[in-house]
Structure 1
C-alpha cells in the first residue's frame, strides 16, 4: 500500500472510555454554561405555555424537541434547512430501516441528536445532559447508527449531471466557460493526533502543518455538489486524489472541461491532455500578466468563487472545524456525505437572477 491510497480508518480509535452515568458531572465549565442556558430557555418556554405546571428533569426530552418549532431554530441547532426536510428524513428512516426495538428517543429525536452533534460539535456528554433520558454512551451509539442510515438515504442527493443539464442552468459568470462540467477543489479536516506512527505519517499535511483528512469535492456551475471523493490522509496530493477518485472516468474527454485553482497541478496525469483544464494563468517568468490574461484571471475567479461559498457552508458544521476525534474517523465518509447532501438541500448558492436563462 502506498501513502497515496485511500485513508484506512477502520482501526483508528481514541481509546477513551465514555462515561454512562451522571453526565453533568463530566462537563467542562464552558459546556455547563451552554447546557444551563439551553435548559433555562426550555424551562421558560414550557412554563409560558403551561403556567402553573412545574417542569421536571424528565420533561426535558419532550420539551427540547417541542421548542424547535421554526426553521430558524432548527437550522441554528442542527444545520437542517427546514422542518419539512426533518419530517421527510423521519419518514424515510422509518420506511427504509424499520426497527421494532424500544428506544428512549423517537426517530425524530435521534435525528436531532445526530445533527446537533455535527452542527455544534458538542461532546456526547453535553448532548446527554440535554437529553436526560439517555447517557453519553447512548448518544454515541445513536450517532453511529443514525449517521449510517442518513448516508444511505442522502447520498442520492449528490447527483452527477450531464453537460447538457449544466448548460441548461448556466450562471451568467460562466458564459465564457459553457463547457465546464465541474469545478473541483480539495478541503482538509483537522484530525486528532494518533498514537500510531504510521497513522500520523499518513495523515500529516505539509500544507496545514498538522494531521488532516482530505476530500475532493466537485461542484456544478450552478452551485450544487455533484461529486465527493473518498477520504484520504492529509499527505495525499491533489493529483493523487484526482487520479484515484474516479472522476476522470465520469467525464467526456472530448466535450467536458474542468475548472481548478492554481494549486491543483494535474497536468501530468495519464490522459489528462484529453481534458480541457481551466485555471488561472501563471506568471511563470513574466513580470506581470498580459491584459488578456488579467481579464481571464478575473473571469475564472468570479466563476470559481462559488465553490468557496460551498466550502463555507460545509464548514458551518463545527464537527469539521474542530479536531475530529479519532473515534469518528471511521465515520468521516458518511458524515461528509450527509453534510454535503444537506448543503444541496439548503437555499441555493445563486439566486434566480444570476442565471442566463
Structure 2
C-alpha cells in the first residue's frame, strides 16, 4: 500500500510530526488543536536547535528530551545513521492517551465467524454485536457498574472478558495482547463478570410446557415426547486453595484437579433454560441437581434427560420421570 493510500484505520497528514500522533482512529479523530502548538507548526527537524546532538557518535542512537519540548508536553527522539545527512525526528504527545494499540481488537475478526467462535464462543460477529448492544444499551448504567477508563473501548473490554472465559487465557497474556497492565486487566475482568451476571441472568427463562412442546424436534417428539429439560454438570478449573479443607472440598475426582461445578439445563430444541449457582467441585452431580431448585420447576409427567451418572430418580419420590 503506497503512502498516498493509507489503510482504513489510519489518518494521513502532511506533517510527519503530526502524523506520528494521528496514527489510528482507535481513540477517535484527533485534530491539530489537540496537540501542543509546537507540534502543530513543526514540519521539519531543521526548525529545532540541533546543538545537543552535535557530539553524538555516528554509529549510536541518541535520545534527547529538550526542556522546552518537555514543557510543551512533547518528547523528541533523534536517530542518527551511518549517513550523516540522514536524520529523523519522531514526536508524540506525552499525555494520558494510549498510543500503543492492542495487538487484536474486535474489528480484526468480526467478519471471520471461525475466529469469532474460537476467541469468544459466539457463533459470528453479528451475534457478538447483538449481545454487546443488549448489555451496553444503557451507557450511564454501564459506566457506573464497569467504570470509565481511557485504556480500552467498552467493546474491546467485552472482547477481552470473553477471550478469557473461552480460551482460559491468563491475565498476563491478556494484558500483553491489549497493551494494558495486569492490574487494569484484572479490574476490567472482575467488573465485567459482575455486570454480565446482572444483565444476562434475566435472559435465561424457564419455558412453559406448551412452549417446549411447540418447538420439540421430531426425534424427541417420537422417542422422548415428555422431555422437559436436558441436564448435565460442567466444571471450571480453579487455583489450588491454600487451606487443606478447601482443597478437599474443591477437588474433583472426575477431573483430578480443583474445580467449581454448575448444573446446566437446555430445552430439547437447544435453548438454555436453567443454570445453577456454582458449587465446590467435590459435590456430586446428584446433590447439585436435588439442591439447585431445578426439581421445583418441573410439573407432573415431565421427564429429565441426563446421563446415567446422575441417578437422581432414587433420591426423589416426586413427579419426575428419568429418561
Q: Same fold (TM over 0.5)?
A: yes
Q: Is the 8 A contact 1:163 1:179 kept in 2?
A: no
* 1:80 maps onto 2:122 in alignment: yes
Residues 163 and 122 (structure 1 numbering): CA distance in 2 closer, same or farther, change over 3 Å? same
Residues 105 and 260 (structure 1 numbering): CA distance in 2 closer, same or farther, change over 3 Å? same
Could you give the per-residue CA deviations for residues 79-121 of structure 1, whole angstroms, max 9, x where no partner exists? Answer: 3333333334245325062427443212112111111222222
- Report the aligned-residue RMSD: 2.8
| Greater relative contact order (Cα < 8 A, sep 6+) | 1
TM-score (norm: length of structure 1) = 0.57
Which of 186, 191, 194 lines up with 2:241 in the alignment? 194
- CA-CA distance at 1:250 after TM superposition: 0.2
Q: Is the 8 A contact 1:179 1:256 kept in 2?
A: yes
Could you give the per-residue CA deviations for residues 250-299 of structure 1, whole angstroms, max 9, x where no partner exists? Answer: 001x2311122211111332434x32221xxxxxxxxxxxxxxxxxxxxx
SS in 1 for 2:309: coil
- For residue 70 of structure 1, what is the aligned residue in structure 2? 111
Gaps of 5+ in 1: 1-45, 279-357
Q: Distance in 1 between matches of 2:182 and 2:152?
A: 13
Q: Distance in 1 between matches of 2:245 and 2:265?
A: 29
- CA-CA distance at 1:145 after TM superposition: 0.7
Structure 1: 4+ residue segments shifted above 6 A: 46-49, 51-57
* 1:209 maps onto 2:253 in alignment: no
Which of 292, 310, 316 lines up with 1:264 in the alignment? 310
Residues 206 and 75 (structure 1 numbering): CA distance in 2 closer, same or farther, change over 3 Å? closer
- For residue 131 of structure 1, what is the aligned residue in structure 2? 178
Bigger radius of gyration among the two = 2
Q: Distance in 2 between matches of 1:245 and 1:108?
A: 33
- CA-CA distance at 1:142 after TM superposition: 0.3
- Summarize the alignment of residues 251-330 of structure 1 with structure 2, pairs less than 5 Å apart: 251-252=298-299, 254-272=300-318, 274-278=319-323
TM-score (norm: length of structure 2) = 0.63
Moved more, 66-75 or 259-268: 66-75
- CA-CA distance at 1:77 after TM superposition: 2.7
